[in-house]
Amino acid sequence: MISNRFLLCMAAATLAAPGRGVAAQAFPGTLPPAASLVAKHGIAVGGEALLKAASITTKGGMSMPGAGINATFEMVQQAPNRMKMVSTIAGMGQLQVGFDGTTGWAIDPMQGPRLLAGKEFEQMRDEAAPRAQLRSPELFSTVETVSDTTMGGQRCYLVKLVWKSGREAFDCFSPTTGLKVGSKSVQQTAMGAIPVTVLYSDYKKFGDVMFATRTVNEIMGQQQVLTVTSVELGAGTDAAITAPPEIQALAKPKSQD
Amino acid sequence: MSLSAVTLGIAGCAAPSIAPSRVEGPRREIIAPGVALATFDSVWTMVHRSYVDSAFVSGKWGSVRDSLRPRALAVNTRAGLDQLLSATLANIPDSHFYIIPARVANEVQSPDDSSDRRGTGGTTGVAVRIAERRLLVWRVAPGSPAALAGITAGETVDRIGDRDAGVAVDRVLSLKNAARDRAASEILRTLNAALSPGVGDVVRIRVRNRGRGGTREHTLRAVPMKGTVSKFGNLPPIAGDVRAARRAAGQPDAGSKQGCVGTIAFNIWLPALAPELERAVYSVSDCAGIIVDLRGNPGGVGAMVMGFGGYFVDSALVLGTMRTRDVSLKFAINPRFSRASGARSQPFAGPVAILVDPLTGSTSEIFAAGMQRLGRMRVFGDRSAGAALPALMEKLPSGDVFVHAIADFTDPEGRRIEGTGVVPDETVALTEKDLRRGVDAPLEAAVRWIEATVVPRTEPRK
C-alpha cells in the first residue's frame, strides 16, 4: 500500500498551484472549491518548506494493537521523486519499499524482492513526488468538492481526486484549520486492491512544517496506528535511498550479467 | 510493501492450526467482575464483524448470543470463562476459531535466550501418527528425552498422560469419511501437543513394542525445541526449525546434479525463517529434484507462500484466492530472480515433491494445494488437515488471544481446502513395519518419482 506510506508525509505537503494563498471560504449551503481547500491545507502544513527541501526524513512507530504487532519506520524522500522506506517489525524483520524516479520496488521476508508492475507501479509513480502529496492540479483530471461531511467525528469537506491514471482518492479537509482530517482510497498491492480509510490527528510542528503525528489506518477490519516522532529536512544522500542488493540485481539489465 | 501492508500480511495469515487451549489457567482463579461478559461480547462481535459466512452470522450466530450471553453475566472464574468460550466457539462450523490462553500468549521470549524457556516451546522429542488403526511412534528426535528413554519409531502408544490412546483412535476411526479425517487430524494435534508441553514439564507415555514384547511407561521432561525462536504478533514464542539435506538418488554419480535429491523440511511458516529457507533452497538447488516436507507443519503466515513458491516457479502464478466479505486477494507467486547476495538467480526448474500428512495444516495446505493444482508439484503422503482459512489473532479483555477466520480460501481451481484437505497424488500409508525399519515410505515414494522423472544422463560414465 504505497500511498499509505505517503500519508505519513501528506500532512507536510503544500500546494504549488493556482489559488495558493487564497483562504477557503465556507458558504452556507455551498461547498467551497476544491482548489481552495487544497491550497489552504498546503499553507497550513507549511508545504513551501517541504518543496524546497532536498530531502525529508520521517521517523516513527507503528502498532496494530489487536494483532500485537509493533514496528519502527524510517522514510527518506529526496527531490524530485525518489524515496525509500524501511520498516522493522518484531518477529518479522524488515519491509522495504522504494522508488528511484523510474523503478519502484519492494522487499520483505514474506514475498521476497520484487519490482513493482501494473497498477501497483502506477500508484507508486503517481504518488512518488512530493507535489503529488500537495495535490498539484496538473496530476489530476478531476478535483472537486463532493460533500460537507464528518470523518472520525470531525466535520470536513470531502474532495474527490481523480489521478490522470484513472485512480480515485478522497481527502477530507477541516473547514477551520485546513488540515486533513481523513482520506479514503483503494490501495493497489501485489495481491489486489484494498480499500483503506485513514484518520489524521495530533498535528505538530517540526520546524517550518506540520505533520499529523497520529495516523489511524483502517484496513480490512484491522486498525493500524502510526506515530511520527521526528521529521527532518536536510540535504540527503544517495546512500539513504539505495536499494538493497537483491533489488539492484533485479533492476540490472540482463546484458550486464 | 509499506507499513500498512503489515495488515495485509496478517490478514493473509493462515494462522497455525495449533492445538486448542491445552494450557489452562488455574481452575478456581477468580476473574474481575464484567471480564467474562466483555470477553464474550468481544468474541461475538469479532465473529459477527468478519466471519465470511454471512448466512451463519445473520442466523445462528444471533441465537448463540441470545442463549449464552446470560450465562456470561454469571461467570466469575477462569474455568467458567474457558467453558463459556468453548461452548460459544463450538457453534462455528469452520476451523481457525480458537483461544490461545493468556498464559501462553503473553509469554515473551527473547529470541536469543534459550536458557530459560520454562512454560513454553518444549518438546519430548517424540511424535505420533495413526497407522494400521493404532497410534504409533512416528519419529523420535536423536538425543531427545524420548530417545534417551529408549522409545523407538514403530512402537504402539497406549497412553499419553491420562489419555487412553487406543480408545481415542477407535472413536475416531468409527466415524465416517470426512468426519473421520477431520477428527483424526484433531486428535493427532491434541496428542502431539501433549508431547510438546512447556519446557521442564513432564509427560507420561506408555508404549508397547510388539517386536520385543512388553509394555513400558516413561516419564519424559520436555526440553527446549530446536530452532530459531521468534515471537510474532499475538502468537506465543515459536521455535522455527528449517532442515535441508541431500541424498544420493539412484544415479551413478551421486552428488552431481543428476545424482542427488534435496529435501527441505520446516515446522512453521514464520517470516523470521525466511533467510534460513532461502539458504535451504539454494543448498539443494543443484540437485535433480527437491522434496518439500510439510508433514506436521501446521501453517503460519499465509503471505509467505508467495515468496517461498517463487523459488520453484518462474512466473506470477496464483496459488489461490482469499475472499473476505469486502475484498478478494490473490496469493500470487513472486518468482525469485535474485539472491540476498545480490547475485541473479533462476527458480528451480526440476521436479518438486511435497510431503503432507494429517498434521499438515493451514498455510502448508495453501501451498501444497496451490502447487498441486498448478501442476508444478506432486503431493505424496496422507490427506492433510483441511484447516485452511486466513485468520486474525486479536487480544480479548480476559488477556486471551482469539484466533478467528476472516476469509475463505480457494485453490487455483476455485475449490475450498477447508474441510477437505489436500489429497495426495500418491497416498502412501504408514506401516508399523516401515517405521520400525526406519523406512520413510512417503519420502521414498517421492524420491522414486523424482528419479523416474529426471531424464537419465546420456553421456557415458568416465
pLDDT of residue B456: 56
Bond prior to A80 in cis (omega within 30° of 0)? yes
Q: Is A104 on the interface with B (CB under 8 A)?
A: no
The residues near B15 (Cβ < 8 Å, ≥ 6 apart) are B96, B235, B299, B300, B362, B391, B392, B393, B403
More reliable by pLDDT, A235 or A44: A44
Instruction: Outline where B2-119 has alpha helix (H).
Output: 5-11, 35-50, 54-58, 60-74, 78-89, 102-105
pLDDT of residue B16: 55
- Which candidate, B246, B186, B154, B174, places its Cα nearest to that of B438? B154
DSSP string, A140-180: EEEEEEEEEEEETTEEEEEEEEEETTS-EEEEEE-TTT--E
CB contact under 8 Å between A5 and B3, yes or no, is yes
pLDDT of residue B22: 41
Q: Measured between CA atoms, how close is B20 to chain A, in angstroms?
A: 18
Q: Is A187 on the interface with B (CB under 8 A)?
A: yes
Digit-coded pLDDT (tens) for B23-72: 344 557 888 889 999 999 999 999 998 898 889 999 999 999 999 999 99
Q: Is the pTM of this model over 0.90?
A: no
pLDDT of residue A60: 97
Residue numbers of B between 96 and 155 with CB closer than 8 Å to A: 105
- Which candidate, A189, A107, A117, A98, places its Cα nearest to that of B278? A107
Residues of B in contact with A228 (CB under 8 A): none
Q: Is A247 on the interface with B (CB under 8 A)?
A: yes
Residue A27 confidence class, pLDDT cut points 50, 70, 90: very low
Q: Is B11 on the interface with A (CB under 8 A)?
A: yes
Residues of B in contact with A217 (CB under 8 A): 4, 7
pLDDT of residue B27: 58
pLDDT of residue B252: 47
Mean pLDDT over B447-461 rounds to 72
Q: Which of B4, B304, B336, B404 to mutate to test the interface with A (most CBs of A within 10 A)?
A: B4
- The count of residues in chain B is 462
CB contact under 8 Å between A95 and B6, yes or no, is yes
Q: Measured between CA atoms, how close is A125 to chain B, in angstroms?
A: 14
pLDDT at residue B221 above 50?
yes
Looking at chain B, which residue has its C-alpha nearest residue A246?
B342
Looking at chain B, which residue has its C-alpha nearest residue A243?
B342
Q: Is A69 on the interface with B (CB under 8 A)?
A: yes
Looking at chain B, which residue has its C-alpha nearest residue A68?
B233
- Which candidate, B132, B185, B241, B225, places its Cα nearest to that of B359? B185
Looking at chain B, which residue has its C-alpha nearest residue A8?
B3
CB contact under 8 Å between B392 and A67, yes or no, is yes
CB contact under 8 Å between B271 and A67, yes or no, is no
Mean pLDDT over A98-114 rounds to 95
Mean pLDDT over A36-58 rounds to 91
**Closest partner residue to B406 among A114, A194, A221, by Cβ?**
A221
Q: Which one-letter amino acid corresponds to residue B341?
A: S
Q: Could you count the other beta carbons within 10 Å of the beta carbon of residue B10? A: 30
Burial (CB count within 10 angstroms: exposed 0-12, middle 13-18, buried 19+), residue A184: middle
Give chain A's count of helices (H) and strands (E). 6, 13
What 3-state DSSP class applies to A130?
helix
Q: Measured between CA atoms, how close is B83 to chain A, in angstroms?
A: 23
pLDDT of residue A220: 83
Q: Is A221 on the interface with B (CB under 8 A)?
A: yes
Residues of B in contact with A62 (CB under 8 A): 3, 6
Q: Is B238 on the interface with A (CB under 8 A)?
A: no
pLDDT of residue B6: 38
What 3-state DSSP class applies to A78?
strand
Instruction: Record the cell numbers describing residue A144, joined without a space.
Output: 472537486
pLDDT of residue B229: 83
Residues of A in contact with B7 (CB under 8 A): 64, 217, 219-220, 222, 224
Looking at chain A, which residue has its C-alpha nearest residue B42?
A66
Q: Which of A74, A191, A219 to mutate to test the interface with B (most CBs of B within 10 A)?
A: A191
pLDDT of residue A257: 56
Which range is least confidently modeled, A143-157, A241-255, B143-157?
A241-255
Burial (CB count within 10 angstroms: exposed 0-12, middle 13-18, buried 19+), residue B26: exposed
Digit-coded pLDDT (tens) for A136-148: 788 899 999 999 9
User: What domains appear along chain B, each with residue ranges and CATH number?
Assistant: 18-94 (no CATH), 122-224 (2.30.42.10), 228-391+405-453 (3.90.226.10)
Q: Do A167 and A126 touch, CB atoms closer than 8 A?
A: yes
Which range is least confidently modeled, A78-87, B65-74, B105-114?
B105-114
Q: Is A213 on the interface with B (CB under 8 A)?
A: no
More reliable by pLDDT, A240 or B160: B160
Residues of A in contact with B337 (CB under 8 A): 249-250
pLDDT of residue A50: 86
Q: Measured between CA atoms, how close is B107 to chain A, in angstroms?
A: 13
Mean pLDDT over B264-281 rounds to 95
Q: Measured between CA atoms, how close is A164 to chain B, in angstroms?
A: 23
CB contact under 8 Å between A64 and B50, yes or no, is no
Q: Do B5 and A1 touch, CB atoms closer than 8 A?
A: yes
The residues near B448 (Cβ < 8 Å, ≥ 6 apart) are none
**What is the C-alpha to C-alpha distance for residues A228 and B424, in angstroms, rounded to an integer?**
50
Residue A23 confidence class, pLDDT cut points 50, 70, 90: very low
DSSP string, B368-386: HHHHHHTTSEEEEES----
Q: Which one-letter amino acid corresponds to residue B307?
A: G
How many residue pairs bridge chain A and chain B with CB atoms within 8 Å of each other?
A: 182
Maximum mean pLDDT: which of A56-65, B7-16, B137-146, B189-198: B137-146
- Which candidate, A235, A212, A238, A192, places its Cα nearest to that of A84? A238
Which range is least confidently modeled, B83-92, B137-146, B401-410?
B401-410
Digit-coded pLDDT (tens) for A168-212: 999 999 999 999 999 999 999 989 999 999 999 999 999 999 999
Q: Is B162 on the interface with A (CB under 8 A)?
A: no
Q: Measured between CA atoms, how close is B254 to chain A, in angstroms?
A: 31
Q: Is A162 on the interface with B (CB under 8 A)?
A: no
Residues of A in contact with B49 (CB under 8 A): 221
Digit-coded pLDDT (tens) for B162-194: 999 999 899 888 877 667 887 888 889 889 999
Q: Do A255 and A84 touch, CB atoms closer than 8 A?
A: no
Which range is least confidently modeled, B124-128, B256-260, B403-407?
B256-260
Digit-coded pLDDT (tens) for B310-336: 999 999 999 999 998 888 999 999 999
**Closest partner residue to A113 among B270, B303, B338, by Cβ?**
B338
How do strand B318-323 and strand B242-248 relate by DSSP bridges?
Answer: unpaired
pLDDT of residue B120: 56
Q: Is B310 on the interface with A (CB under 8 A)?
A: yes
**Segment holding B147, helix H or strand E:** helix B145-148
The residues near A241 (Cβ < 8 Å, ≥ 6 apart) are A76, A78, A82, A83, A84, A98, A100
Percentage of residues in chain B having pLDDT higher than 90: 62
pLDDT at residue B454 above 90?
no
Sheet holding B242-248, edge to edge: B242-248, B260-266, B289-293, B352-356, B377-381, B426-427
pLDDT of residue A65: 79
pLDDT at residue B200 above 90?
yes
Q: Which of A8, A111, A223 to mutate to test the interface with B (most CBs of B within 10 A)?
A: A111
Residue A13 confidence class, pLDDT cut points 50, 70, 90: very low
DSSP string, B73-84: HH--BHHHHHHH
Q: Is A4 on the interface with B (CB under 8 A)?
A: yes
Looking at chain B, which residue has its C-alpha nearest residue A190?
B332
CB contact under 8 Å between A246 and B50, yes or no, is no
Residue A2 confidence class, pLDDT cut points 50, 70, 90: very low
Which range is least confidently modeled, A11-20, A57-66, B79-88?
A11-20
pLDDT at residue B291 above 60?
yes
CB contact under 8 Å between A110 and B406, yes or no, is no
**Segment holding B130, helix H or strand E:** strand B126-131
Which range is least confidently modeled, A14-18, A184-188, B380-384?
A14-18
Q: What pairs with residue B131 in β-bridges? A: B134
Find the distance separating the first CA and the last CA of chain A, reported in whole Å: 32
Instruction: Outline where B218-258 has alpha helix (H).
Output: none
pLDDT at residue B104 above 80?
no
Residue numbers of B between 322 and 381 with CB closer than 8 Å to A: 322, 324, 326-332, 334, 336-344
Maximum mean pLDDT: which of A27-41, A54-68, B132-146, B201-215: B132-146
What Cα–Cα distance (Å) separates residue B432 from each residue in B128, B135, B156, B203, B296?
A: 12, 10, 8, 23, 19
User: What domains appear along chain A, each with residue ranges and CATH number?
Assistant: 2-136+202-256 (2.50.20)
Q: Measured between CA atoms, how close is B246 to chain A, in angstroms?
A: 25
pLDDT of residue A22: 28
pLDDT at residue B19 above 90?
no
pLDDT at residue B231 above 90?
no
